[in-house]
Amino acid sequence: MRRRAMAGAGASAVGAATAVTALVLGSVTGHAQTGTSEAFGVEAVGGALNIDKTPHAVSDDGVEDSKELANVDLQDFGNIDVLKATAGDNSASAKTAGVDLGSEELGSLSARVINVQCDGEDRSTEIVGLGGSFGGEEFDESFAPDPNTEIPADPLLNVTFNKQFTDDDGRHVVQGVVIEVLNGDDLPQELTDLAGHKIVLSSATCGGPADDGDNGDGDDGDDGNGDGDNGDKPGDGDGDGDDGAGDGDGDGKPTAPKPTPTETELPVTG
């Protein structure tokens, strides 16, 4: 990348660079970085039972991250024996094993293993030993659900197997089992604390290939100028070319000298 040399850039250039930096940083705040993949075993939101993504593995540089946890207690709603999450370069997987959830009012769901994985846009869910009766629905012992298979349960709750969607950052998400307690007039009084509640079991998200550090210009990745390492080209000024300041771009154009403060004595009058 070639940049224009501007004479007299001094403080104005610093101010402009600061403003641009703030704009860029501000535009990504609160959003996942491109290339970020992640996975988690369980999450519960929206009601009396709140559980952060656990265990939570994240990879934003292509390096594999893996987390494992044993025995997560979901209070009166059940427990999970083993949870594992792994995230890497545009790939992720999650496993929950020994799942035993339910209540007298809502029904039950159990599974020996709930596995999900994504590899780029390809996503899948595998459930082994599924049992239970959420919403009066009886499940097969072994269940390989199609994407976004929903089991509506009167006004009480909705169960989705192999939920797949694209999030706000354009990443590809797969979730093994999603249990949502609905808001309804027929919801029993003892379940009002769970109204609007959502429990996610086994989730994997693929965010695209990790950033290779060259800022998308396909060069050696110094600073996006594409030639900052060739300080021996004409016009680099110092011959080292590795400071990323764009002085190794070889265009031979002169650069404006730094302004130097000058001390002067002024006569005192009056």
Judged on CB neighbours under 10 Å (0-12, 13-18, 19+), 63 is exposed
Q: What type of residue sits at position 29?
A: T
* Nearest residue to 99 (alpha-carbon basis) of 115, 117, 116, 78: 78
What pLDDT, on the 0 to 100 scale, is given for residue 190? Answer: 67
What pLDDT, on the 0 to 100 scale, is given for residue 155? Answer: 63
Tokens of 195: 């109204």
239-244: which pairs have CB atoms within 8 A and are 24 or more residues apart?
none
**Domains of the chain: which residue ranges?**
37-206, 212-253
Q: Phi-psi region for residue 29, left (φ > 0), alpha (ψ -120 to 50) or beta?
A: beta
Distance (Å, rounded) from C-alpha 200 to C-alpha 38? Answer: 14
Distance (Å, rounded) from C-alpha 124 to C-alpha 161? Answer: 10
Distance (Å, rounded) from C-alpha 175 to C-alpha 114? Answer: 10
What pLDDT, on the 0 to 100 scale, is given for residue 133? Answer: 75
Tokens of 74: 């979901």
The full length of the chain comes to 270
Contact 155, 182 (CB under 8 A): yes
Distance (Å, rounded) from C-alpha 3 to C-alpha 16? Answer: 15
Judged on CB neighbours under 10 Å (0-12, 13-18, 19+), 7 is exposed
What pLDDT, on the 0 to 100 scale, is given for residue 33? Answer: 57
* Residue 61, CA atoms < 13 Å, CB-side half-sphere: 4
* Nearest residue to 247 (alpha-carbon basis) of 219, 220, 225, 218: 225
What pLDDT, on the 0 to 100 scale, is given for residue 249? Answer: 47
Report mean pLDDT in 10-residue bins for the chain, 270 residues: 39 38 36 79 87 96 96 89 97 97 82 96 94 68 86 77 96 96 71 81 93 51 47 46 45 47 42
What pLDDT, on the 0 to 100 scale, is given for residue 135? Answer: 55
Distance (Å, rounded) from C-alpha 242 to C-alpha 220? Answer: 11
